[in-house]
Amino acid sequence: MNENLWSIAVDAPLQQALTYKSTESVAHRGASVTVPLGRRKARGVVLGPVENHQSEFELKFIEAVDDERPKLPDEFMKWLEWLASYYLYPVGQVFSGAFPPLAKHSRIKKTRQVVPQLPFSQPPELTDEQKNALNQIQQYDGFQAHLVHGVTGSGKTEIYMHAIAEALKTGKTALVLVPEISLTPQLVQRFAARFPDQVSVIHSHLTEREKTNQWWNVVDQKTPILIGARSALFCPIENLGIVVVDEEHEPSFKQDEKLKYHARDAAIVRAKLANCPILLGSATPSLESWHNAQIGKYNLISLKSRVANRKLPQVVTVDLKEKKDQAKAEEHEIQDRPFWLTEELETSLVATMKKGEQAAVFLNRRGVAQMAVCKSCGHTYECPNCAISLTLHGASHMVCHYCDYSEPLTDKCPACESSDIETIGLGTEQIENDLAKMFPFKVVARADRDEITKRSDLEALIEDMEKGDIDILVGTQMIAKGLDFPKLTLVGLALADIGMNLPDFRAAERSFQLLTQVAGRAGRHQEDGGQVVIQTFNPEHVGLKASITADYEGFAKLELEERQALNYPPFGKLALVKLQAKSMNKAEKLAEIVKRRAQQLKDKDEKYQSIQILGPCPAPLVKIRNTYRYQMLLKAAVDGKLHAFCFQFLGDPKKWAPSGTKVQIDIDPLSML
């Protein structure tokens, strides 16, 4: 072994590590170094010594070792190496994500308190189901994935905290991952009160200085518990004793840009390398996790009752097709009721307001109207950068929800100059305006990405809901996840159909999960369980019917049978090859090249015969931000051959893809749009 040659994961878009030399043995695995790369200097991490290196190029020297950055633990490095290999991403760029944004020594500026200092809060008495869950977890030594399947309001968080307390007693640390949207002050305060001065938090709404400080609190072992969104996985927390992934089904655990990793799957590997348990919690588990529990790969823990045996909400479904026919038959519209509001939901809202309780109305679509169209010539207001119609906000503000392009809604059609312009569809802003007119003496608030632009907005809204200062909350899926409001007794879904029929094999699963989670916000602290009113044009939709009866198992059985027949996950593996270009012509040519490369490899190598090549074809959203998009789906059995195939046929796209184009690979894609 030549100890003066080192393999370095350099922070650059290179698939492989590079070899450098040093005059003395200054480097060691896990150390951060500075190396020359072309005409610039780059940072990197030492992977280890190199044996028998042969190169036609003269090797360059490591320039410096960065003593400020801590040496990365070997177990954590193995996890980063797995990430790079599994998701086919440049190893050095994976490693670069393992460090905070700023230097430690510049920690002088006073910052706000990220985690509140609270007096110790005594844990409540556990239910029998919660005690049984903890007993099951404790029966296993070392690594085991536990799927905690509990109805909404069943007390999963309490199970997490008890399991973490047990890990801390043995001198271990804990990592808790939650979706960014659920990482609210409510959750942080609960943990801070149970574990005073033992919690650090990392999420996207912190400043760079705050992230850096929180990161060092963990690395310097000042706090044994790290709570965070998916990026918290990249903090090199040592001596890991337990990992928790709450709302494990959430699509936001999958990163769509750059390193396209799934935080749940990556967390399972992290727990396996640390030889510690991992708890995956959800009222609506992903079908992949449910399948793994059914075949015995995960241990299934079931919580079938809400805490204190409170009932699940009563669900009423309103068929909008019948309402439309009824209105036609009567040949008149009820003038004082908004077009989107049925009599059933109106009656429930009035009753809830009379009792002084809170209501929430959910619609997974922002704005006032989905589109504007000229009734004379059919012209629609479309985004010039994206293949999508503009959404009306306010009285005349047309906005693209993909690139933020905006233009005013004109009085006359730009195509034919007719003034017969109609707005079509519904958004949260319209619902908020209508409810404010209906209930002038009640406080109506809205929670969507237009209204909640920074974390402090969300914190203020949650505080107002908890204090009872808001009577009706209107929102998108932002209000569907993990929030717990004692006075919220009614949840209305204005239009449950959004997202049901997207061109995606997961559309039914997503609809079921969202509907169940939204309904689960109602009556969590009432003995009668509260009420949910669902307005829909598709009352027979499989996901909707299952969510009404809270029949997760029945829904999962039907969906898994369909998936198996089509060899979709969890029965098959998928990879989505994403192709981008600045013109449609270039995108089409790139698609032809990619198809040819994939087909040639499949024809040449017998072990790849079972791989299906679907496409390429234009993406459902073919143009986003002036970029034209094609995609090709690869499907295979769960046997590991798909990775090798992708690695082989893609190689280094920079060497064969035409200039001005981009080729990306998404292993285990969640979105087909």
pLDDT digits (tens, 9 = 90+) for 526-550: 777 789 999 988 888 888 888 888 8
Q: What is the pLDDT of residue 2?
A: 46
Contact 399, 454 (CB under 8 A): no
Average pLDDT over residues 152-160: 87
Instruction: State the DSSP H helix or E strand holding residue 493, giving kind and residue range, or none if neither.
Output: strand 488-493
pLDDT at 595 over 50: yes
User: Does one domain contain both 146 and 243?
Assistant: yes
CA 175/CA 604 separation, integer angstroms: 46
User: Does one domain contain both 390 and 354?
Assistant: no
Q: Among 424, 441, 466, which residue terminates a domain?
A: 424
Phi, psi of 435 (to 5 degrees): -70, -35
Q: Among 535, 562, 589, which residue terminates a domain?
A: 562
Greater model confidence, 147 or 306: 147
CA dihedral 86, 90, 92, 98 (to 10 degrees): -50
Contact 270, 298 (CB under 8 A): no
Cβ of 101: how many Cβ atoms within 10 Å?
Answer: 12
Per-residue confidence at 331, pLDDT binned at 50, 70, 90?
Answer: very low
**CATH number, domain with residue 634:** 3.30.70.600
Per-residue confidence at 1, pLDDT binned at 50, 70, 90?
Answer: very low
| pLDDT one-digit tens code per residue, 215-245 | 999 999 999 999 999 999 999 999 999 999 9
DSSP notation for 292-341: HHHTTSSEEEEE-S-GGGPPPPEEEEEEHHHHHHHHHHHTS--TTS-TT-
User: Does one domain contain both 217 and 252?
Assistant: yes
User: Does one domain contain both 409 and 533?
Assistant: no
156-169 and 128-138 helices cross at what angle (nearest 10)? 40
Q: What is the pLDDT of residue 480?
A: 67
Average pLDDT over residues 576-586: 95
**CATH number, domain with residue 39:** 3.40.1440
Q: What is the pLDDT of residue 311?
A: 75
Q: What is the pLDDT of residue 573?
A: 94
CA 54/CA 77 separation, integer angstroms: 25
Selection from 20-24, 130-134, 303-307 with the highest mean pLDDT? 130-134
User: In the chain, what percentage of residues exceed pLDDT 90?
Assistant: 58
Average pLDDT over residues 444-469: 82
Q: What is the pLDDT of residue 110?
A: 66
The vertex-317 CA angle with 315 and 319, nearest 5°, equals 175
In a domain, 387, yes or no: yes
Q: What is the pLDDT of residue 92?
A: 96
In a domain, 89, yes or no: no
Per-residue confidence at 325, pLDDT binned at 50, 70, 90?
Answer: low
Q: Specify the range with the lowest mean pLDDT, choosing from 36-45, 295-304, 456-465.
A: 456-465
User: Does one domain contain both 514 and 615?
Assistant: no
Instruction: State the DSSP H helix or E strand holding residue 457, giving kind and residue range, or none if neither.
Output: helix 455-467
pLDDT at 394 over 90: no
Cβ of 318: how many Cβ atoms within 10 Å?
Answer: 18
Per-residue confidence at 332, pLDDT binned at 50, 70, 90?
Answer: very low
Strand, coil or helix: what is 204? coil
Strand order in the sheet with 627-637: 612-624, 627-637, 572-581, 661-667
User: Does one domain contain both 253 and 380?
Assistant: no
Q: What is the pLDDT of residue 109?
A: 59
| pLDDT one-digit tens code per residue, 38-97 | 899 999 999 999 887 777 778 899 999 998 899 999 999 999 999 999 999 999 999 999
Average pLDDT over residues 591-598: 95
Please give, one letter per residue, the 3-state secondary structure of 595-659: HHHHHHHHHHCHHHCCCEEEEEEEEEEEEECCEEEEEEEEEEECCCHHHHHHHHHHCCHHHCCCC
Our count of domains for the chain comes to 5
User: Does one domain contain both 189 and 233?
Assistant: yes
Strand, coil or helix: what is 227? strand
User: What is the overall mean pLDDT for the chain?
Assistant: 89
User: Does one domain contain both 406 and 292?
Assistant: no
| pLDDT one-digit tens code per residue, 88-107 | 999 999 999 999 999 887 65
User: Does one domain contain both 517 and 614?
Assistant: no
Q: What is the pLDDT of residue 264?
A: 98
Contact 487, 473 (CB under 8 A): no
Residue type for 539, please?
A: P
Contact 182, 481 (CB under 8 A): yes
Q: What is the pLDDT of residue 4?
A: 84
Average pLDDT over residues 448-464: 78
Per-residue confidence at 507, pLDDT binned at 50, 70, 90?
Answer: confident
In a domain, 229, yes or no: yes
Q: What is the pLDDT of residue 78?
A: 98
In a domain, 567, yes or no: no
Q: What is the pLDDT of residue 448?
A: 79
User: Does one domain contain both 259 and 188?
Assistant: yes
In a domain, 673, yes or no: no
In a domain, 615, yes or no: yes
User: Does one domain contain both 244 and 351?
Assistant: no
CA 205/CA 188 separation, integer angstroms: 14
**CATH number, domain with residue 171:** 3.40.50.300
Q: What is the pLDDT of residue 326?
A: 62
CA 423/CA 368 separation, integer angstroms: 9
Q: Tell me which residue range forms the domain holding 362.
A: 314-367+426-562
pLDDT at 645 over 70: yes
Average pLDDT over residues 552-563: 94
Average pLDDT over residues 98-118: 80
Q: Which two tokens stand for residue 375?
A: 């009734």
Q: Among 562, 594, 626, which residue terminates a domain?
A: 562
User: Does one domain contain both 448 and 412?
Assistant: no
C-alpha gyration radius of the chain: 27
In a domain, 105, yes or no: no
CA 407/CA 413 separation, integer angstroms: 13
Per-residue confidence at 159, pLDDT binned at 50, 70, 90?
Answer: very high
Greater model confidence, 290 or 482: 290
Q: Is 323 exposed, middle or buried, given 0-12, 13-18 or 19+ CB atoms closer than 10 A?
A: middle
CA 197/CA 118 separation, integer angstroms: 8
Average pLDDT over residues 657-665: 93
Q: Buried (b) or exposed (e) across 7-18, using 16+ Cβ within 10 A?
A: bbbbbbebeebb
Q: What is the pLDDT of residue 671?
A: 84
Residues in contact with 296: Cβ distance below 8 Å, sequence separation at least 6, in sequence order: none
| pLDDT one-digit tens code per residue, 335-345 | 578 988 999 99
Q: What is the pLDDT of residue 354?
A: 95
Q: Cα–Cα distances in Å, from 288 out to 45, 293, 347, 516?
A: 34, 9, 40, 18
pLDDT at 475 over 90: no
Greater model confidence, 272 or 498: 272
In a domain, 117, yes or no: no
